[in-house]
């Protein structure tokens, strides 16, 4: 089972992660991870913090001579901002209850208040430092390793922004390949140039208004084999597992697969994908005439692209803050304003790619197992060959 856990506060010394279950023999370099970390840091509308950081990974364990060993992989991403925060975030005791740069006016929408109540804190900084989306840098680092594993099996993961604030992009009928090479050209990772310009203007307006913006990103997973995930038990369904992973991303409030909510209003005859003969061995020789299901039926991959959309709420740190209650005085007031982003929708797409990579890598290792990449590859090849041989023999390889 592939899994990872992360630790680290936003202004602590570093983010760390341990990623377990990656088979031995996968070639990986720091640059494979760093290129993804850079993508996460980019996007018009990020705050000043991204000018301070220059996220880069240090492999502490699990990799030798450019190859995974099959042992847990330990990763470290330093916070360069730590230098400015060491006195505030240092682990050494300061005297009971003493805190520097206390946050006592919780922001509506952030974890501040619920975290303070649940963890019996009086300083919301004890909560927000971990609730900060800074943690997603560690996820992206782990996801980059999973992505390398998936690339060995021809799986491509990409994303693009389809809505930012009120601006909705026109989605091209045919997505470019590779998707990210095109999307990363845009400051807001949007494939519709006219919409991208309006999105940038919308972000500028939000900056002027001291407000923030949310939006929608679409994640596309291509090159999957039929048969990942399973219909047999609720917790093995790949759609459920992907949706859960997407919803764990900070500020994500909605996830759709394929037609998603739009499908609810369609009649059945316009909601499903007709089956035809003529795909490749990876899909058992079958093909769908459309992909309304978003590449998943019965919790199992069909081999068509998996298409997910994630809705992100606007960032909850506002420079013109909403009403709140001061935790120290009990008086009504305005929420604390921390430095933050105006929007992070472009970055959210990159983080969603990383989480999707984790779930897919889990599903691949479950199905094709193996302590080593070579063992996993031979299991994969045997499965695909078996699918192709069985179904083309039965149907003569064509319609
Ligand atoms: C983030 C770092 C944070 C924020 C943002 C994400 O840095 P700082 O708090 O020092 O400005 O820019 O976090 C939030 C939006 C949030 O609400 O916590 C990052 O590295 O992605």
Task: Name the residue with tokens 């590779």.
Answer: 178
> How much distance in Å is there from the Cα of 378 to the middle of ligand 1?
43
> How much distance in Å is there from the Cα of 89 to the middle of ligand 1?
16
Separation between Cα atoms, residue 211 and residue 342, nearest integer Å? 7
| Interval 196-249: pLDDT, tens | 999 999 999 999 999 999 999 999 999 999 999 999 999 999 999 999 999 999
As for ligand 1, residues whose beta carbon falls within 6 Å of it are 10, 47, 49, 81, 132-134, 136-137, 315, 317, 338-341
Which helix (DSSP H) or strand (DSSP E) does residue 212 occupy?
none
Does residue 396 lie in a domain region?
Answer: no
Does residue 138 lie in a domain region?
Answer: yes
> How much distance in Å is there from the Cα of 127 to the middle of ligand 1?
13
**Number of C-beta neighbours around residue 119 at 10 A:** 11
Closest ligand 1 atom to 52 CA = 10
Separation between Cα atoms, residue 90 and residue 76, nearest integer Å? 18
pLDDT for res 369: 93
- Indicate the average pLDDT of the chain: 96
| Interval 174-183: pLDDT, tens | 999 999 999 9
Average pLDDT over residues 61-75: 98
Does residue 226 lie in a domain region?
Answer: yes
Closest CA to 297 of 365, 239, 220: 239
| Interval 29-41: pLDDT, tens | 999 999 999 999 9
| Interval 318-372: pLDDT, tens | 999 999 999 999 999 999 987 889 999 999 999 999 999 999 999 999 999 989 9
- pLDDT > 90? residue 289: yes
Does residue 185 lie in a domain region?
Answer: yes
- Between the alpha carbon of residue 207 and those of residues 3, 45, 235, the distances in Å are 38, 8, 42
| Interval 102-161: pLDDT, tens | 999 999 999 999 999 999 999 999 999 999 999 999 999 999 999 999 999 999 999 999
Nearest CA to ligand 1 atom 18: 132
Does residue 394 lie in a domain region?
Answer: no
Closest ligand 1 atom to 47 CA = 12
**Number of C-beta neighbours around residue 328 at 10 A:** 11
The total domain count for the chain is 1
Separation between Cα atoms, residue 334 and residue 324, nearest integer Å? 5
Task: Name the residue with tokens 């590859």.
Answer: 377
Closest ligand 1 atom to 251 CA = 17
Q: Cα 244 to the chain's mean position, in Å?
A: 11
Nearest CA to ligand 1 atom 21: 134
Q: What is the CATH number of the domain that holds 231?
A: 3.60.150.10
Average pLDDT over residues 153-173: 97
Q: Give residue 398's pLDDT band: very low, low, confident or very high (50, 70, 90).
A: very low
| Interval 69-115: pLDDT, tens | 999 999 999 999 999 999 999 999 887 778 889 999 999 999 999 99
| Interval 336-346: pLDDT, tens | 987 889 999 99
Closest ligand 1 atom to 132 CA = 18
Residue 384 exposure: Cα atoms within 13 Å on the Cβ side:
19
Q: Give residue 399's pLDDT band: very low, low, confident or very high (50, 70, 90).
A: very low
Query: Is cis: bond before 178, omega within 30 of 0?
Result: yes
Whole domain around residue 157: which residue ranges?
Answer: 3-382
Does residue 389 lie in a domain region?
Answer: no
Pocket probe mutation, ligand 1, options 12, 36, 103, 133, max atoms within 8 Å of Cβ: 133
- Angle subtended at Cα 195 by Cα 192 and Cα 196, rounded to the nearest 5 degrees: 80
pLDDT for res 96: 78
Separation between Cα atoms, residue 397 and residue 203, nearest integer Å? 53
Does residue 393 lie in a domain region?
Answer: no
Does residue 163 lie in a domain region?
Answer: yes
**Number of C-beta neighbours around residue 149 at 10 A:** 23
pLDDT for res 276: 94
Nearest CA to ligand 1 atom 10: 49
pLDDT for res 341: 94
Query: Are the CB atoms for 43 and 213 separated by under 8 Å?
Result: no
């Amino acid at each position: 089972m592939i899994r990872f856990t992360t630790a680290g506060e936003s202004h602590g010394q570093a983010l760390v992660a341990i990623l377990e279950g990656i088979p031995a023999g996968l070639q990986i370099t720091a640059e494979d991870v760093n290129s993804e970390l850079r993508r996460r840091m980019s996007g018009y509308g990020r705050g000043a913090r991204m000018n301070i950081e220059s996220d880069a990974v240090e492999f502490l364990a699990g990799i030798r001579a450019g190859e995974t060993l099959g042992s847990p992989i330990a990763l470290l991403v330093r916070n360069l901002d730590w230098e400015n925060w060491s006195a505030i975030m240092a682990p050494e005791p300061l005297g009971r209850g003493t805190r520097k740069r206390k946050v006592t006016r919780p922001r509506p929408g952030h974890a501040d208040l619920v975290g303070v109540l649940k963890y019996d804190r009086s300083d919301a900084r004890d909560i927000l430092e971990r609730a900060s989306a800074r943690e997603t840098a560690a996820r992206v680092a782990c996801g980059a390793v999973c992505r390398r594993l998936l690339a060995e099996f021809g799986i491509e993961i990409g994303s693009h922004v389809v809505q930012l604030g009120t601006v909705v992009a026109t989605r091209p009928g045919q997505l470019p390949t590779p998707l990210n090479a095109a999307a990363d050209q845009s400051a807001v990772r949007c494939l519709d140039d006219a919409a991208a310009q309006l999105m940038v203007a919308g972000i500028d307006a939000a900056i002027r208004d001291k407000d923030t913006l949310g939006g929608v990103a679409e994640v596309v997973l291509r090159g999957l084999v039929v048969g990942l995930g399973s219909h047999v038990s609720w917790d093995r369904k790949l759609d459920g597992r992907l949706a859960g992973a997407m919803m764990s991303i900070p500020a994500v409030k909605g996830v759709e697969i394929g037609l998603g909510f739009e499908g609810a209003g369609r009649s059945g005859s316009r909601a499903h994908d007709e089956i035809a003969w003529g795909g490749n061995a990876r899909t058992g020789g079958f093909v769908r005439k459309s992909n309304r299901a978003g590449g998943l039926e019965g919790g199992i991959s069909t081999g068509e692209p998996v298409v997910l959309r994630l809705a992100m709420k606007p960032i909850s740190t506002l420079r013109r803050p909403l009403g709140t209650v001061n935790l120290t005085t009990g008086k009504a007031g305005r929420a604390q304003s921390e430095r933050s982003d105006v929007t992070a929708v472009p970055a959210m797409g990159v983080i969603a790619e990383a989480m999707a990579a984790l779930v897919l890598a889990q599903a691949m290792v479950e199905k094709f197992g193996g302590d080593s990449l070579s063992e996993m590859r031979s299991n994969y090849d045997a499965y695909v060959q078996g699918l192709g041989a069985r179904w083309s023999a039965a149907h003569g390889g064509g319609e």
